Amino acid sequence: MNLVAVLCIAGFSSSLALRSIDPMLPLLAADLGVSFPDAAFLITVYSVPYAAALLVLGPAADAIGKGWLIRVCLVGFAVSLVGAAVAPSYGWLAVARAVAGVFAGGLIPVALALIGDLVPFGERQVAISRFLLVTIIGQMSGAMLTGLLSELTGWRTMFAGMALVAVGATVAAHFFLTASGSAARRLTLSGAWADYRTVFLNPITPLIFGMAAAEGTLVVGILSFVAPLLARPDASGVFEAGVAIGAFALGGISYGALARFLIGMFRQPHLVRMGGTLAGGMYVLVALPVHWLAAVPFFYLAGFGFFMLHNTLQTQATELAPRARGSAMALFAAALFLGQGLGPIFGDAVTRAVGVSTLYAIAGLLIAILSLASARLVRER
């Protein structure tokens, strides 16, 4: 089996579980006898360990081997999902979610770092775009399937299904990642610190990580405000938001399908410029007082532009520090994750001050300007 295909299976397993719990929150609250805010806390107990684990698992991948670490994380991830499926109480489920978050932190970023190790730079962006496409499909599938099936089959069945996918990924990784990303040294605190120093010796590191945080804040982080943006006198905007966010994800899938063609036609600085301005321009347009159906194509194009920008930044991040690639990709993911966490805070502050439409106009202008400015500094290798 192709190495990238195996890593895609691992990435799909991780992304499948990332947003799958969101539609099940009311069901979890009722079944476990807790309030809705307590059920929503299950998202936090997954996200925070996920982000924190990145700071450890990145250097660990560089030290003890990326392939080995992915296999270990897949085992832990599968076991924790089984624990969630059989959880007898809310507390047990919260612990299982936290453990799953820790092990999930070692899958997607480390898989990207391993692609960086084994795929030549000229072919790397196409390989990463395929990986990105699979993770988008995983997130969409997780949210969609749990939303459609959890009331019929129960939330435990949903976790059991995710565990089964993780077991399949574990088996594939056991047979095909055994010699990939071999160990280089012992894992030590001084070695991890040295890896992070190596990453920041590259002068464009702050640019790449800053742009990752910016796209997380200004594009993904404010998607939680789509419902109030599209709300009408006769509708809450929830259904409309679901359609618009689905269109955004479909734009990402479309980019993944066309990535090879686009990468062959345009240089990376051009992709940064086009992706950022397309995403930003569409956010400016959705701020206009148009019918929500007219806004759906804008969100589709915003998703296309965002993933064009994000895919290019990911590829650049794999080359920031080739000898500490795991650490670099962990920091890149942490920057993106931090941006997504700051997005709702930024969005709430702007919305309270000037309204939700102005929020999207400001965010669109900012990401377009930042993309145009940073494209001048992106290096072509």
Q: Are 80 and 100 in contact (CB under 8 A)?
A: yes
Q: Residue 378 pLDDT > 70, yes or no?
A: yes
Model confidence pLDDT, tens digit, residues 48-67: 888 888 888 888 888 888 88
Model confidence pLDDT, tens digit, residues 104-161: 988 988 998 888 888 888 888 888 988 888 988 888 788 778 777 877 888 999 999 9
* DSSP symbol at 289: S
Mean pLDDT of 200-209: 93
Q: Among 143-152, 252-261, 278-287, name the one with the lowest average pLDDT.
A: 143-152
Nearest to 144, CA basis, from 241, 246, 297, 41: 246
Model confidence pLDDT, tens digit, residues 293-302: 899 999 999 9
Helices marked H in 202-355: 205-215, 226-230, 238-265, 268-286, 292-317, 325-354
Q: CA torsion sign, 305 to 307 to 308 to 313?
A: positive
What band does 184 get if pLDDT is binned at 50, 70 and 90?
low
Domains of the chain: 3-187 (1.20.1250.20), 194-375 (1.20.1250.20)
Task: Name beta bridge partners: 235.
Answer: 232
> In this structure, what are the phi and psi dihedrals at residue 182, rounded to the nearest 5 degrees?
-65, 160
Placement of tokens 């400016």 in the chain: 284
Model confidence pLDDT, tens digit, residues 294-352: 999 999 999 999 999 999 999 999 889 888 888 899 899 889 888 887 888 888 889 99
How far is Cα 131 from Cα 127, in angstroms, rounded to an integer? 6
What band does 380 get if pLDDT is binned at 50, 70 and 90?
low
Q: Residues 6 or more apart from 9 whose CB is under 8 A from it? A: 168, 169, 172, 173
Q: Residue 381 pLDDT > 70, yes or no?
A: no
Provide the mean pLDDT of the chain.
Answer: 87
Residue 283 half-sphere exposure, CB side, CA atoms within 13 Å?
Answer: 32
pLDDT at 213: 93
How far is Cα 198 from Cα 196, in angstroms, rounded to an integer? 5
Q: Are 283 and 302 in contact (CB under 8 A)?
A: yes
